[in-house]
């Protein structure tokens, strides 16, 4: 056999093995008021077990290298690191003050947390070689009221953070850990998302029925458009095709699909129980949603445009992730 053919076949085999491993990976649902994570079988959609976390966990986050699933334990001042393939706890990071929301820069040099209760944004250096002290606080940035959600650009230069009770958006330069600008936005901003070209930042308004689009390509953010969605626009999840984005309308019990090129809503899906966080399976056909008020994980078939399953989980589910996911940007 030609050696190049052998290498090609070997790499293909590795790829198939990795794909199979991801497809069999469990689904994780974070139960905020129970302080645990439900581990769900991806085939039967049966809850297998629950894994304890720290106090008042609020968000799940899969590290960019996909080696760990992070649970932000806001009042516990800790982060629980879980194996995304098994659900086993890898370790607990301590001394992380009020980590309500969290995000790595894509290059994994910086780690940013939003202190929702304490009104500051913390920037850490990631030093994985320092076991037990992987996160080193570099700068605590004072902010407006109730820092909420974070988005970091793909070049790992800027962190955008919504300030929920100040109705503001702040941009922070990661290299210098200093604010670049702060602008006023609509009512009760929550999640933020950068379009693939990195020029437009979308802001979900939980206190309204809109997603606002801002030009961030040059200087402070400038409002481009207000996109009507539905009441309680809250969390984003990219579909994975680099064009469409889902936003959960928590009060309206619906999810809107936004075309990021035209900045218009193209579809609306009815999802009961206060839809909140979302994940999209790798096939691009299935949307997983935490129904916050119903204690359920809801499964939406995107081709049939309807709910096809609901899985009972814990109190106030506030995050859902799986390794078997579509691209997140």
Mean pLDDT of 277-282: 98
Q: What share of the chain has pLDDT > 70, as a percent?
A: 93
Across residues 287-292, what is the average pLDDT?
98
Whole-structure pTM value: 0.92
DSSP per-residue letters across 194-207:
E-TTSSEEEEEETT
Phi-psi region of 82 (alpha: psi -120 to 50; beta: other; left: phi over 0): beta
The pLDDT-based confidence of 2 (bands split at 50, 70, 90) is low
Mean pLDDT of 257-261: 98
Q: What is the pLDDT of residue 128?
A: 80
* Pairing between β-strand 147-152 and β-strand 158-163 as defined by DSSP bridges: antiparallel
Q: For residues 308 and 183, what is the distance between their CA atoms, to the nearest angstrom?
A: 41
CA angle 231, 235, 237 (to 5 degrees): 125
Phi, psi of 15 (to 5 degrees): -60, -40
Of 305 and 16, more confident: 305
Please give the C-alpha separations between residue 22 and each of 26, 46, 68, 86, 303, in angstroms, as whole numbers: 9, 18, 13, 11, 22
pLDDT over threshold 60, residue 97:
yes
In this structure, what token pair is assigned to residue 49? 């077990």
**What is the pLDDT, as a whole number, of residue 208?**
98
Position 14 scores a pLDDT of: 45
Q: Residue 18 — pLDDT band, cuts 50, 70, 90?
A: very low
Largest CA distance in the chain: 66
Q: How far is CA 184 from CA 68, 167, 285, 301, in A?
A: 35, 6, 36, 37
For 144, residues 6+ apart whose C-beta sits below 8 A from its C-beta are 119, 163, 165, 166, 168, 170, 182
The answer to whether the beta carbons of residues 136 and 154 sit under 8 Å apart is: no
Kindly indicate the confidence band of residue 298, based on its pLDDT and cuts at 50, 70 and 90: very high
- Three-class SS of residue 10? helix
* Tens digit of each residue's pLDDT (9 = 90 or more) over 123-132: 999 988 777 6
Which pLDDT value is given to residue 288? 98
Report helix, strand or coil for 8: helix
Please name the helix (run of DSSP H) or strand (run of DSSP E) that holds residue 243, with its range, or none: none
- Percent of all residues in the chain with a pLDDT value above 90, rounded to a whole number: 90
Query: Cβ neighbours of residue 23 under 8 Å, at least 6 residues apart?
Result: 42, 282, 324
Mean pLDDT of 290-304: 97
Identify the band that residue 23 occupies on the pLDDT scale cut at 50, 70 and 90: confident
| Contact predicate 148/101, CB 8 Å | yes
Q: Give CA separation, 62 vs 110, 226, 325, in Å.
A: 15, 30, 11
Side-chain half-sphere CA neighbours of 51 within 13 A:
24
pLDDT tens, residue by residue, 181-233: 999 999 999 999 999 999 999 999 999 999 999 999 999 999 999 999 999 99
pLDDT value at 13 more than 80: no
24-28, 61-65, 104-108, 129-133, range with the lowest pLDDT? 129-133
- For 309-320, what is each residue's pLDDT tens digit? 999 999 999 999
Go through the chain and tell me how many residues it has: 329
Residues 75/118, Cβ–Cβ less than 8 Å: no
Average pLDDT, the chain: 93
């Amino acid at each position: 056999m030609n050696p190049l053919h052998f290498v090609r076949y070997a790499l293909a085999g590795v790829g198939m093995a990795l794909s199979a491993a991801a497809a069999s990976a469990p689904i994780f649902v974070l139960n905020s008021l129970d302080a645990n994570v439900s581990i769900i079988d991806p085939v039967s959609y049966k809850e297998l077990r629950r894994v304890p976390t720290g106090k008042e966990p609020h968000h799940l986050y899969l590290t960019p290298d996909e080696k760990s699933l992070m649970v932000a334990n806001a009042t516990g001042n800790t982060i629980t690191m879980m194996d995304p393939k098994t659900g086993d706890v890898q370790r607990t990071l301590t001394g992380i003050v009020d980590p309500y929301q969290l995000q790595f820069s894509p290059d994994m040099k910086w780690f940013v947390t939003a202190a929702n209760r304490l009104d500051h944004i913390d920037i850490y250096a990631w030093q994985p070689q320092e076991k037990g002290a992987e996160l080193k606080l570099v700068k605590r940035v004072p902010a407006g009221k109730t820092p909420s959600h974070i988005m970091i650009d793909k070049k790992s230069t800027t962190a955008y953070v919504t300030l929920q009770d100040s109705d503001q958006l702040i941009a922070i330069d990661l290299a210098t850990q200093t604010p670049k600008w702060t602008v006023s936005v609509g009512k009760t901003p929550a999640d933020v998302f950068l379009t693939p070209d990195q020029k437009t930042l979308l802001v979900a308004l939980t206190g309204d029925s809109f997603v606002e689009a801002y030009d961030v390509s040059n200087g402070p953010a400038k409002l481009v458009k207000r996109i009507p969605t539905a009441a309680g626009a809250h969390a984003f999840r990219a579909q994975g095709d680099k064009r469409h984005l889902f936003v959960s309308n928590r009060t309206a019990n619906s999810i809107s699909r936004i075309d990021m090129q035209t900045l218009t809503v193209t579809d609306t899906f009815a999802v009961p129980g206060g839809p909140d966080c979302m994940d999209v399976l790798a096939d691009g056909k299935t949307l997983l949603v935490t129904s916050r008020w119903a204690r359920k994980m809801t499964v939406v078939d995107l081709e049939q445009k309807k709910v096809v399953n609901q899985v009972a989980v814990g109190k106030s589910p506030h995050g859902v992730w799986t390794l078997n996911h579509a691209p997140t940007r």
